[in-house]
Homo-oligomer: A and B are copies of this chain.
Amino acid sequence: MQVLALKENQDVVREGDRPSRSCLILSGFVCVYKITGEGKRQIVTFNIPGDIPDLQSLHLKVLDTSVGTITPCSVGFIPHEALHDICIRHPRIMSAFWRETLIDSAIFREWMTSMGRREAYGRIAHLLCEMLVRMKAVGLAEDLACNLPITQAEFGDALGLSTVHVNRILQELRANGLIELKGDRLNILDWDRLKEEGGFDPTYLHLEREREAS
């Protein structure tokens, strides 16, 4: 596995590429995004250490999204050949990889629900809940706080909102005593109300390790 250090705001892979390897995030934040015909950006997910943002390229030859860094990152590249080998020889590991991509899918479904049917206030609350829970799952968060190096413009691109609107909603969330968010630091002051406002239910993240049937 080749390991690269990348600066912030760099593309790891680009829509249209036909990569022969997938990238494992070792440290830092990345996002998966698309650019529309009119040049607008939609971030479809954030990825944190432990994630493989383009694992799908193992089976879908042409990338339909780009992956870009948000912070400086350390990224490991795993040749598809090696992944295929492992998968053929160890069906259980193949299942585990498959399962990871299914969880990504579940996150997409939840984001769609946010964008389609929650207004900005709940949408942001929901995303903050998700990020904290995911960061905790990989040991990168304390009980109610974590680093969250995401700019307001990036929040906007992820949630389908303008930067200005994100800014105003964040101020509301702060004014209502739900969060502190300054620089890279997120501090959740009222977890229950934040969950409530975002309609957040972590089931979709499928975090409890479940015994496989086979």
Binding site for B on A (CB under 8 A): 16, 32, 34, 36-38, 40-42, 44, 56, 59-62, 64-65, 80-81, 84-85, 87-88, 91, 94-95, 98-99, 101-106, 108-113, 115-118, 157-160, 199, 203-204, 206, 210, 212-214
Contact at B110–A204, with CB atoms within 8 Å?
A: no
Nearest CB of chain B from residue A44's CB, rounded to whole Å:
5
Q: A104-B105, A109-B64, A204-B64 are in contact. Are A115 and B118 (CB under 8 A)?
A: no
Question: With A and B bound together, what is the CA distance between A61 and B210 in angstroms?
Answer: 7
Nearest CB of chain B from residue A19's CB, rounded to whole Å:
11
Smallest CB gap from A113: residue in B: B42
What are 9 pairs between A and B in contact, CB < 8 Å?
A41-B117, A59-B98, A64-B106, A64-B109, A65-B109, A84-B213, A108-B108, A112-B112, A115-B160
Contact at A64–B213, with CB atoms within 8 Å?
A: no
Contact at A160–B116, with CB atoms within 8 Å?
A: yes
- List B contacts of A157 (CB < 8 A): 116
Question: With A and B bound together, what is the CA distance between A99 and B62 in angstroms?
Answer: 13
Contact at B113–A36, with CB atoms within 8 Å?
A: yes
Question: Which of B32, B88, B103, B203 contacts A214, CB < 8 Å?
Answer: B88
- List B contacts of A199 (CB < 8 A): 36-38
- List B contacts of A42 (CB < 8 A): 112-113, 116-117
Question: Which of B36, B60, B203 contacts A99, CB < 8 Å?
Answer: B60
